């Protein structure tokens, strides 16, 4: 999987919005059994949980192979010692390739680089 790269991304970036929209739609379909209303997805994309995954609030990353976005994940800074992984997602076509595990490992690595020791495993 050495051809997979991970990069921080602003939650408002079009690439981030695209992969997060896929995550939110699939999550709602699995949880509620219905395709979510586009307005509900739009509101969720602007929610503090997602918007806060940058700077002092955390980090949102995307996983890529070349130009293709494979998935995303976030890590929320809880305090100076603790981080919480969130939104770990791989597009369905890439689930068997270990993308989600790679995203989780990258989020843990990034959290540890900030000095946070309390990083729950995903």
* Residue pair 53/74 in contact by the 8 Å Cβ criterion: yes
Prediction pTM value: 0.89
Q: Each residue of 87-112: pLDDT tens digit?
A: 999 999 988 888 999 999 999 999 99
pLDDT per residue, tens digit, the chain (122 aa), is 469 999 999 999 999 999 999 999 999 999 888 888 899 899 999 898 899 999 999 999 999 999 999 999 999 999 888 999 999 999 999 888 889 999 999 999 999 999 887 666 55
The H-assigned helical ranges of the chain are 14-32, 38-45, 48-51, 99-113
> In this structure, what is the dihedral angle of CA atoms 49, 52, 54, 60, given to the nearest 10 degrees?
10
**Residues whose CB falls within 8 Å of the CB of residue 3, separated by 6 or more in sequence, listed in order:** 65, 66
């Amino acid at each position: 999987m050495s051809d997979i790269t991970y990069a921080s991304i602003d939650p408002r970036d079009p690439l981030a919005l695209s992969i997060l929209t896929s995550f939110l739609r699939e999550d709602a379909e699995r949880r509620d059994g219905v395709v979510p209303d586009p307005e509900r997805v739009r509101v969720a994309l602007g929610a503090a949980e997602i918007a806060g995954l940058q700077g002092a609030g955390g980090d949102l990353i995307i996983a890529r192979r070349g130009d293709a976005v494979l998935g995303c994940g976030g890590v929320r800074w809880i305090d100076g010692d603790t981080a919480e992984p969130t939104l770990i997602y791989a597009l369905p076509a890439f689930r068997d390739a270990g993308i989600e595990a790679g995203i989780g490992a990258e989020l843990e690595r990034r959290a540890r680089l900030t000095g946070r020791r309390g990083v729950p495993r995903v």
